[in-house]
Every structure is written in structure tokens, then in C-alpha cells.
Chains A and B, each alone.
Chain A
Amino acid sequence: MPNIQHLLDVFLKSMPLFLKGALLTLELSATSLLIGLVIGLFFAFLSLSKSAVLKAISTFYITIVRGTPLIVQIFVLYFGLTDLIKMSSFMAATLALAFHNGAYISEIFRGAIQSIDHGQYEAAKSLGMNNLLTYKRIILPQAFLRAIPSLGNQFIIALKDSSLAAFISMDELFNIATTQGSNNFDQMTYLVIVAFYYLLMVMILSFLVGKVETKLKKSGAT
């Protein structure tokens, strides 16, 4: 283990570089999660549809994502996509992570939508609401509220998983740590520092999710 004085020195000296990396990590995670939410909602609806074909498409997608390692997905999508269309590694990494998280998010949404009591649909129907209105105003808002704890959890996983983008040469947190570590022949110090950054971000995220949850509970809306 590096001694504390040394660790602090390196920590302060490397801070500008790591903050830049942290920003990129956050951008990467946030963008891929945003796209992942859209993908997730879309596939949740496919898996809830009455059509066997649509259901099968959704099952296929989820099986592939869950059944293969994220790093393999990132490589396949990175080399596959950059082969087909010109795009930055940020774009490729974002899409790969969105593709990955979308599957888990779709399962979260599916579960949340299915957990809404059937009486809610009937009440909406009995008031003359059509399907679109029923989902938009009654079912999805409740499903989103119920999904928040699981989504928060998935966001934390996604934030940490974004470190794998280092392998397609994204200069995010983890890549900075390994590059600096080997340049300075001091891997352990930089790994401890990068762990600290991830931990800090995850703790902030957990805190925010917790806040939202308590607020919802207090309002009695869930």
C-alpha cells in the first residue's frame, strides 16, 4: 500500500486530470442512461404486447444482453458500428452502454407496469379514457414512481460499468487511472484514487435517489 502522504500528494496533483475524467464518465453514463430509458420503455411495451412476434423480439434482445459479457458487447458494437458508420468512440461507447442498460431497464419497467393494479385500468376506462390516455396519465406515472428504487440501483451499476469504455480508448476515469499508473510506475496509488472518485459519485447518487424516495413516500403518492 502507498503511504498516506504520498497518496494525498498524488491525489491533489492529479485532481484536474481526474475531474476531467469524472466529467466524461458522468457524461457517458448520463447520455447512455437517457437513451437506455427510451430503449427500455420501448422494449417493455414490446414484451407486454399481445403480439407473439413483438414479445419474441423483446425476449431475444434481453436474452442476448443478459447472456453475454458487457465488455464483449462494447467491443462488438464499437468495431461493428465504427465499421459501418463513422462515429466517435464516445458515441460508440454511449450506444453500447445504452444497448446494455436498456435491457435491464426494460425489465424494470415491465415489472413496474405489471405491478399496477388492474382496477386502475378499469377506473380509467370507466371514465371514458382511451388506451393512450390511460397509459400516459394513469399507468406510466405510477409505474415510474414504483420503478425509481430499481432505476436508481441500475444507474449506480451503469456508472461503474462505464469504466469498461476505457477499453475502447475513452479517456474516462478508469482509463486515466491506468494510464497515469503505468506512466508513473505507481498503479496502486492511482487505483485507490480512482476507486475513491467512483465511490464518491455512487454515494452522491444513492443519496439523491434516497431523497426522491422519501419525498414520494411522504407525499403519499406511491
Chain B
Amino acid sequence: MALLSAQNIHKNFGQLEVLKGIDLEVQAGEVICLIGASGSGKSTFLRCLNYLELPTDGIINYQGTPIDPKVTNLNQVRSSMGMVFQHFNLFPHMSVLENIIEAPIKVQKIKRSEAIQIANRLLEKVGLSDKAKEYPARLSGGQKQRVAIARALAMDPKLMLFDEPTSALDPETVESVLNVMKQLVNDGMTMIIVTHEISFARAVADRICFLHEGKILEEGSPCELLDSPKNARTQEFLKSVIA
């Protein structure tokens, strides 16, 4: 059974139809990359999956149950789906450690000492053990994003959503974030990644979906989609980003 399945997702912003019926199934342990031009709807679709945006139409099944925003406790759903944002969105008034332990303590109600243990382990994993007491303002973009990943992982999520995690970074810090993500892939984490990093997608994805004007135009394994795309739009897009 799929960990998450989205059926016929539509999203309108007023008159503007951003998503025009997207279907996606994600198996546990799968890594899926969403690619496409700006405005194709990939970020909006990702944000619909944890209901940061309310889909106008369509059904999302998560862990075997359909999500109904009127009935389902969305906070509970979100707490088991980690999300990493393009602009990090760390809490600036909290130290790195406090950023990571906040939700485990307040949402999952685990003991502070236990949360700190988890946080320290995660900081080690993302290579920032020495920054636990720093405030986000003192970190580079790449360091901030790695803290954001640790913060999401601290909730022990079943699925991680990445919304262009390296788009706001200086080129020299992109690699550090991608390395942490590769590590997650090796750990078997289920991940949906919106990205412009085609070579990264090729290296980690089980499946790549190409979005165009609110629809998935083509999907397949990295080899299929990147090396022999069938759709003319996909070919055009890949030519423009790889060239």
C-alpha cells in the first residue's frame, strides 16, 4: 500500500487554476523529484500534500486514511510529515538547539532531556554539533538549511517534503545541503523533493515527475525521463536547464 497517494488534486487561487488534476503515489522508502519551470505548480502541489494549501478538489490518502480537513487533525498529519522550505523559516528568536527541540517537546510532549539527546544526534548527522547554541542569524544559508532539516527530522517523520531546498543558497553551500539529503536517501527516508538540481535528481530519485502548467506531463526513472524524454515539452525544459 502506498504511504501517500494524491488523486486528482486541483488548486485555484481565485481565477487562476494552478493545479489541474495531479495524481501521485508514493511508496514508503521512495524518493521522488518534481521538476518543471517556475509557475508549473510543483511547489503548490507539495504544499497541498501537508495542507499548507487547501486543495480546491481531490483526495489525499496518507498512511491508509483519506485526509479530510474537516475531520482529520491536520496538526497530527503535519507532525509526521517533515517540511523543508526554500527560505529555511528557522525561528530567529531561538537558538539552533531550541529550534530543534521546540516541536518534539510542545507537540509530541517528549521529555526535554530526551529531545536534547535527539537534537544532538541530529546536529551531528548534519555536521553542526558546534552550532547548537548559536542563533540562526549567525549561520550561513547552507548551515541554516541543515538546521531546518534537523528540525524536521526531530519529529521522526514518515515522509519528508523539500520545497526547493537549495534555491536560496550560495553556490558554495549547496553541496553541504545536498550531501545531508543524500544521507537521508541512504537511510531509506521517503522523500518528495521539488528541485532545479537536475544532476542531484538523477543521483537520488527513484522517480522524476515533470510538471507543466499544473499537470504531470511525464514521469519515469531518471534514465527514462532525463535521457530519453518522450514529451516535447520535457525535452524543451531539459534542454534549457542542462545547457
Q: Report which A residues bind B (CB closer than 8 A).
A: 117, 119-120, 122-123, 125-130, 133, 137-138, 141-142, 145, 219-222
**B interface vs A, CB < 8 Å?**
50, 52, 75-76, 78-83, 85, 87, 89-93, 102-103, 106-108, 134-138, 148, 151-152, 155
Contact A137 B138, CB 8 Å, known A125-B52, A221-B92: no
Cβ contact within 8 Å between B138 and A138? no
Which chain A residue shows the least CB distance to B75? A128
Q: Which residues of A are found within 8 Å of B78, using beta-carbon distances?
A: 125-128
Q: How many A-B contacts at CB < 8 Å in the complex?
A: 72
- The residue in chain A whose Cβ has the minimal distance to the Cβ of B161 is A126
- The answer to whether B155 touches A142 (Cβ under 8 A) is no
8 contacts between A and B (CB under 8 A): A119-B89, A123-B89, A127-B79, A127-B151, A128-B75, A128-B107, A133-B106, A133-B107
Q: How far is the CB of A216 from chain B (nearest CB, A)?
A: 9
Which residues on the B side are within 8 Å of A145 (C-beta)? 93
A128 touches B93 (CB 8 A): no
Q: Assuming the A-B contacts A128-B155, A219-B135, are A120 and B89 also in contact, with contact meaning beta carbons closer than 8 angstroms in the complex?
A: yes
In the complex, what distance in Å separates the CA atom of A121 from the CA atom of B78?
13
Chain B residue numbers with a CB within 8 Å of A142 are: 91-93
- Assembled-state Cα–Cα distance A138/B91 (Å): 7
Of B52, B134, B151, B155, the contact of A122 (CB 8 Å cutoff): B52
One of A117, A127, A221, A222 near B107 (C-beta < 8 A)? A127
Provide the residues of chain A in CB contact with B52, threshold 8 Å: 122, 125-126
Q: Is the CB of B85 within 8 A of A127?
A: no
Q: Which of B79, B81, B85 contacts A123 (CB 8 A)?
A: B85
